Structure 1
Amino acid sequence: MKLIFVRHGEGEHTTNLPNSLRTNHPYLTNKGREQALLLQENLPLCESDVLIASPTVRTLQTAALWSEQVACMKVVHPYISPRIFPYREGARTLPCDKMLSQRNMQQLFSQFSLAEERNDELWSDGINAITELEFCTAAHSFIEWCKTLQVARVMIVSHDGTITAYRQYVMKRVLTREDFLEETGMYEIQL
């Protein structure tokens, strides 16, 4: 099985730094929407793929645009929500990284189902500021859950810090912010 991580398209929260980081639930910019649509050509989805998105507007928009012509399984999962990278004890979630409520996700992105995760705290706070040990436990659980899907490709639309944290966990080597992917950049892990 392949896990293919894709960073979301350009979001409003990156257009006027650092002030734009205070934007609640930033949408994709016009450029970000174009980047998401280009994924249809650069990394076409198949009906047999599973597409998993982080519970934020920009990741769900990226996934929705990328998959608009494909009837693949589409899921939202909190284990790939925003992640501060590198982890800093005491760090707090910025407004731009707050997750949508489950109700809002279902209203705005009804083509996606919600992962069967019963931890309400995870659905509200995500993995952004959990400890490294807690993240490793979450990453292991998420990867094991992906294996239960029994498909050839699991496509994951997430965030630069989250993707880098998963890469570091799987590769067992230290990465830095310089290892972040560009918007709609991809990283493949063969399991």
Structure 2
Amino acid sequence: MELVFVRHGEGEHTEKPDRLHNLHPELTIRGENQARKLQETWPLVSEDFLIVSPTVRTLQTAAHWSEGIPCRVMVNPAVGPRMFPQKKEWETLPCDQILTKDRAAEDFPDFHLGGKRWAEGINEIPEKEFVDAASELIHWCKQLGKDRVFVVTHDGTMTAYRQWMERRTLTRKDFPKETGWIRVNV
């Protein structure tokens, strides 16, 4: 099975870094256009499956990308924001707070909700817990019986998953740009 990790489009917090302390930043106009352009790069079909981080910018990216396509979209905290590299002294910034399950359901009613860790997410959890959450998600994805699953997430999360799955050391230089993507076979 192939996982295609896709970074969200430009968010208000990346356009202007002073907005890192804003709660739940949305996509900018540029970010919305980047998300729509994913339709050209990765044209979706009804059989496709997307797993999306429970943040506004990732959910908006998935919504613009999948617009008009009846594919299945699952919101799951196991692909929420993850600090990279992981530092015990770092705390989750407001821009990386995940939505509550109720808010995600209310704001994105066409998306399905799944997974655990809706209260705390994966941003600050120790590496062992992250590996457990990632392993559980990968196992679940394999049970879908799909050849390919898309994951709409964040640069740090993509890099953390990739480092764990590829068993090699990565750095922040390995972060993809907005709506950049990486493919990983599992």
Which bin holds the TM-score, normalised by the shorter protein? over 0.9
Residue 12 of structure 1 is matched in structure 2 by: 12
2:148 matches 1:153: yes
Bigger Cα displacement from structure 2, 176-185 vs 132-141: 132-141
* Secondary structure class of the residue paired with 2:118: helix
Q: How many angstroms does 1:152 deviate by?
A: 1.6
- Is 1:125 the counterpart of 2:133? The answer is no
What is the 5 A alignment of 1:1-191? Answer: 1-17=1-17, 19-115=18-114, 117=115, 119=116, 122-191=117-186
Residue 90 of structure 1: how far off its partner (Å)? 2.9
Q: For the residues of structure 2 that align with 1:50 and 1:16, how far apart are their CA atoms?
A: 32
Contact 1:47 1:71 in 2 (8 A): yes
**Unaligned stretches of 5+ in structure 1?**
none
Percent of aligned positions that are identical? 51
Deviation at 1:14, TM superposition (A): 1.0
d(CA) in 1 for partners of 2:92, 2:45:
34
SS in 2 for 1:188: strand
- 2:135 & 2:101 partners in 1: Cα distance? 23
Provide Cα deviations, 1:60-111, integer angstroms capped at 9, x if missing partner. 0000100012111110001000000000013211000001111111111011
Query: How many residues matched?
Result: 186
Provide TM-score, normalisation by structure 2: 0.98
Read off the aligned partner of 1:65 and give its amino acid letter: H
Q: Which runs of 5+ in 2 are unaligned?
A: none
TM-score, scaled to structure 1: 0.95
